[in-house]
Amino acid sequence: MRTLVISEKPSVAISISKVLGATKKKDGYYEGNGYKVSWCVGHLIQMANPDSYDEKYAKWNIEDLPIIPSEYKYEIMKPTKKQFVILKKLMNDKEIDTVINACDAGREGESIFRLVYLQASCKKKMKRLWISSMEDSAIKDGFENLKDGKDYDNLFESAQARAIADWLVGMNISRLYSCLYKQNYSVGRVQTPTLAMIVKRDDEINNFKKEKYYTVELELDGFTLSTERIDSLEVAEQLKNLLENRIEIADVIQKEKVTKPDLPFDLTTLQRECNKYFGYSAKQTLDYAQSLYEKKLITYPRTDSRYLTTDMITSTINNILGQNDFDIQRIKVIFNSSKVTDHHAIIPTVSSMSEHLSSIPESEAKVYRLISNKLHASVGYPLIENTTKIVATFDGFEFTSSGKVIVEEGFTKYLREYKSKRKEESVLPYVNVGNVLEIKEKEIKEKYTEPPKHFTENTLLKAMELAGCNVILNKFPDRENTMIGSKGVYLSGGEKQRIAIARAMLKKSKIVIMDEASASIDPDNEYELQKAFKNLMKDKTVIMIAHRMSSIRSVDEILVLDNGEIIERGSDQELISQGGKYKELLELYDSANQWRVKDEEIL
């Protein structure tokens, strides 16, 4: 008898097959040494659309809401149907007595495998491979300690609950708002709260009214004293004129500031810091991290934990931290198994210690070094600074100056190359309370209040993290971004197009050419695209080439071509009123939309 191993991605299947000795390549799987190793290519099964329950749901009517099936249906995704057929055949092969779920060790990985297992009507014994690293040693250890598949039933149920919640919110509320407002709207459990944060911030910026204010600054020997905000220029001028050439120090406040190091990375914090330091987008960071993972240089990147398990202490200290000085108290904080669920924090692998980074792209090397430096910093000693605040008072106004001196660099020595470029606080001279100091220069500074800043990928990810969305994002195979193109086969046509349109919006180009942007999508995805088109067209010249009439009806000007020549031009309503070729095409399109397949079984 043989054992079937199913991973989430082909690259993972290759690594597993090499460790197991299943190196003979077949169509859609590897074979050898008593094993067959295949893969899922991400999601192969998806929840069915409403019209699969009842044909009436093909047309959106508010009277049909809410749509709450008594039992949920699932369907095979067309782009990856071939791989599903291969898996189904392997699962039901009489030679196979055990199926090992080697999909990603998490909720979504569990769902990907189980849906295929159920759709294939497989009844074979099920085992679970649970690993957080693609190193050969981790794979071997995982196969020596396989879990019973039933131990993860609750994990699968939680994934199903999440998927059903997404379906109910997306299908019902999107239809509700689209019907109410007579245009297509997309509402989602994750996307809508995220969009709300952006809209709220933009409203704050648009409604912001700049206010002028003043400060009075006194130049002394080696430092500057300044007031807080003064709204009246007249008051500021009176204060300046009343001041003589000397001022007495009223207070000197000195404190020791102790800053503890941050935790190692989860994916969200890695994406934020890569955006901050290198300008990488969230997708770029995920791509680089995924590549490093597949090269066995870092541990599993799509994690929401920033802690390590206690059984990793010895190996991490001996093989990764090495002779570098570390704080034993931080070891106790970082290595905490109770705070690790699916995967631990992102750290370098043991095998990466013997690798030369010169062989990988510089972009990936930067991400690797940041992950490594972050780990070393996380177990480092605190940063200790002496802070000083000098205070002088006059006529009820307080003048202050602040500075600091680093006493112990601590963990920050590992992060020197990422040091913020912002202006450092000055080192203040030594003064005592009661000292009367000479004022060298008095000046009124005119300043303005500033609006909130627009979200960057860094700040948006931070806001989403604070809102609790980072855990939700981890349910996606590639979080908020997914690879499109030849390797993005697990995406539907509509999903691929929407991602491409989102990237086009981020480019902020003045002119965008969209060639068949609505091609290969199903009608249920079209409203998502229409919303994206509407957003894309703002403040841009968009040239849209389309075969689908609904894609172009809202544009400013339509050009109708026949044999390479423009035969009609105008808006949708103008061309309809002309009664020409455009109207004829539109009538044919509307007629085609009324076609229905008879209720007969199609083989």
CATH number (domain holding residue 481): 3.40.50.300
Angle (CA) 286-291-295 rounded to 5° is: 145
pLDDT, mean over the chain: 85
Q: Domain boundary at 147, 162, 177, which?
A: 162
pLDDT tens digits, one per residue of 200-226: 888 999 999 999 999 999 999 989 999
In whole angstroms, what is the distance from residue 219 CA to residue 225 CA?
7
Two tokens at 543?
């040239």
Q: Is residue 454 part of a domain?
A: no
Tokens representing 24 are 């003979």
48 pLDDT above the threshold of 50: yes
409 and 336, same structural domain? no
Residue 168 CA to residue 150 CA, distance in Å, equals 27
pLDDT bucket at 248, cuts 50 / 70 / 90: very high
Q: What is the pLDDT of residues 183-196, one digit of tens each?
A: 988 888 877 877 88
Note down the domain range covering 442.
Answer: 212-260+383-448
Residue 366 domain-assigned (yes or no): yes
Assign 579 to helix, strand or coil.
Answer: coil
Whether residue 278 is contained in a domain is answered as yes
CA 346/CA 286 separation, integer angstroms: 12
3-class secondary-structure state, position 285: helix
Residue 378, φ and ψ in degrees, nearest 5:
-65, -25
Ordered alpha helix ranges (H), 454-564: 457-466, 469-473, 493-507, 523-536
Q: How many CB atoms lie within 10 A of CB 240?
A: 16
* Cross-strand bridge partners of residue 385: 257, 406
The mean per-residue pLDDT over the stretch 124-146 comes to 93
The per-residue pLDDT for 532 is 53
Residues 30 and 155 in one domain: yes
Domain boundary among 162, 177, 198: 162
**251: pLDDT strictly greater than 50:** yes
Q: Total structural domains in the chain? A: 4
* pLDDT for the residue 549: 67
Structural domain includes residue 193:
no
Residue with the bigger pLDDT between 562 and 236: it is 236
Share of the chain above pLDDT 90, in %: 58
Q: Which two tokens stand for residue 561?
A: 């071509």
Task: Please tell me whether residues 252 and 396 are part of one structural domain.
Answer: yes
Q: Among 379, 394, 424, which residue terminates a domain? A: 379
pLDDT for residue 477 is more than 80: no
Q: How confident is the model at residue 565 (pLDDT cuts 50, 70, 90)?
A: confident
501 in any annotated domain = yes
- What integer pLDDT is reported at residue 107 of this predicted model? 86
Quick one: 338 and 473 in the same domain?
Answer: no
Indicate whether 507 and 433 sit together in one domain: no
389, part of any domain: yes
Q: Looking at this protein, which amino acid is placed at residue 196?
A: A
Here the CATH number for the domain that contains residue 27 is 3.40.50.140
Q: What is the mean pLDDT of residues 113-140?
A: 94
Q: Are 373 and 415 in a shared domain?
A: no
The string of pLDDT tens digits covering residues 64-100 is 999 999 999 999 999 999 999 999 999 999 999 999 9
Structure tokens at 48: 């069915």
Q: How many CA within 13 A on the CB side of residue 469?
A: 18
Same domain membership, residue 294 and residue 360: yes
Q: Which of 276, 295, 434, 441 is nearest to 359 (CA)?
A: 295
Asked if residue 109 and residue 11 are part of one domain, the reply reads: yes
Single out the residue of 265, 344, 306, 294 nearest to residue 105, CA to CA: 344
Query: pLDDT tens-digit profile of 360-404?
Result: 999 999 999 999 999 999 999 999 999 999 999 999 999 999 998
Residue 195 inside a domain? The answer is no
Considering the domain boundaries, does residue 461 fall inside one? no
Same domain, 499 and 418: no
484 pLDDT higher than 80: no
Verify that 492 and 541 share a domain, yes or no. Answer: yes
For residue 569, give every residue at least 6 positions away whose Cβ sits within 8 Å of its Cβ, in sequence order, or none: 557, 558, 559, 560, 575
312 and 423, same structural domain?
no
- Catalytically annotated residues: 300
Give the strand pairing for 212-219 and 441-448: antiparallel
Q: What is the CATH number of the domain that holds 388?
A: 2.70.20.10
- Tell whether 276 and 256 lie within a shared domain: no
Q: How far apart are CA 245 and CA 221, in angstroms?
A: 13
The confidence score (pLDDT) of residue 542 equals 75
pLDDT of residue 96: 97
CB atoms within 10 A of CB 493: 16
What digits encode the pLDDT tens for the residues 320-366? 998 777 899 999 999 998 888 778 999 999 999 988 888 899 999 99
Q: What is the pLDDT of residues 404-419, one digit of tens each?
A: 888 999 999 999 998 7
User: Which pLDDT score is estimated for 139?
Assistant: 94
Close Cβ partners of 40 (under 8 Å, ≥ 6 residues apart): 6, 7, 8, 9, 83, 87, 103, 112, 113, 116
Largest CA distance in the chain: 98
What phi, psi does 315 have (nearest 5°)? -65, -40
Q: Smallest Cα–Cα separation from 128: which of 159, 152, 97, 161?
A: 152
pLDDT at residue 474 in the model: 46
